[in-house]
Chain A
Amino acid sequence: MARKQRDVLSVEWVKLELIRTAYATRGGLFSVMDPRMVLGWYLILAIIPWFTHNLTVLAVLFVVAAISVALARVGPLILALFVFGLLTEAVYIFIAAIFFGGDLTTIMALLELTLKLGTISMASMAAFVSLDPEKLSDALLALRAPALLAFAVSYGYRMLPILVEEFNTVFDNYRLRSAPPEKPGFLGFRSIAHWIKMAILAFYPIFLNTAQSVRTTVEALETRGFTYATVDQRGRNIRLAYLKVGALDLAVVAVTIILVAGAFWCGQVWPVYHVDLLR
Chain B
Amino acid sequence: MNAVYQRAGTLRGATTAGNKPRYDLSNPQKLMIFVLSMALFGLSNILLEIIPDIHIGPVDISVAYFVFIPLTMAALFSPFWVALGAPLGEIIFTDLLMGDFSGLSEIEGFIQMFLAIYIAGSAIRNPGNGVQIAIGALLIVVVDKFLSAAVDLAKVWVGVEEAEYVEGLPESMLLLEGVGFGVDLIISGILFGILPAMWLIPALHGKIEPLMGMRPRVAGEPIPGKMPNSGLFVGAAVLLSIASFFFAFLEAWDVSIGAFEPEFLEEYGNGFLWISVIAIVVVTGLAIMFFRKAQHKDNR
Contacts and interface: CB of A to CB of B under 8 A. Distances in A.
B43 A164 contact: yes
Interface in B11-51: 27-28, 31-32, 34-36, 38-40, 42-44, 46-47
Given A164-B46, A214-B212, A206 B99 contact: no
Interface in B44-98: 44, 46-47, 68-69, 72, 85, 88-89, 92-93, 96-98
Contact of B96 (A82, A124, A159, A164): A124
A156 B37 CA distance: 11
Interface in A80-116: 81-82, 85, 105-106, 108-110, 112-113, 116
A204 B31 contact: no
Given A164-B43, A210-B39, A274-B258, A156 B92 contact: yes
A152 B258 contact: no
A207 B208 contact: yes
A84 B92 CA distance: 20
Contact of A81 (B38, B68, B99): B99
A191 interface: no
Contacts of B39: 155-156, 159-160, 163, 210, 214
B36 A211 contact: yes
A170 to B, nearest CB: 11
A96 to B, nearest CB: 10
Contacts of A270: none
A124 B208 contact: no
Interface string A136-166: 0000000000001101110111011001100
B204 interface: yes
A108 B256 CA distance: 10
Most B C-beta atoms less than 10 A away, residue of A117, A156, A208: A156
Interface residues of A, number: 57
B271 interface: no
Interface residues of B, number: 50
A120 B254 CA distance: 15
B231 interface: no
Contacts of A227: 27-28
A105 to B, nearest CB: 5
A204 B204 contact: yes
Say whether chain A's binding surface is mostly helix, strand, loop, or mixed: helix
Contacts of B266: none
B100 A85 contact: yes
Interface string A209-231: 01110110111001000010000
Contact of A222 (B28, B89, B93, B258): B28
B258 A218 contact: no
A106 B43 contact: no
Contacts of B42: 156, 160, 163
Contact of B92 (A152, A210, A212, A274): A152
Given A21-B97, A109-B258, A215 B32 contact: yes
Contacts of A206: 40, 43
19 contacts: A81-B99, A82-B99, A105-B258, A106-B162, A109-B259, A124-B99, A148-B34, A152-B88, A156-B89, A200-B192, A203-B69, A206-B43, A207-B208, A208-B208, A211-B212, A214-B32, A217-B35, A218-B32, A275-B258
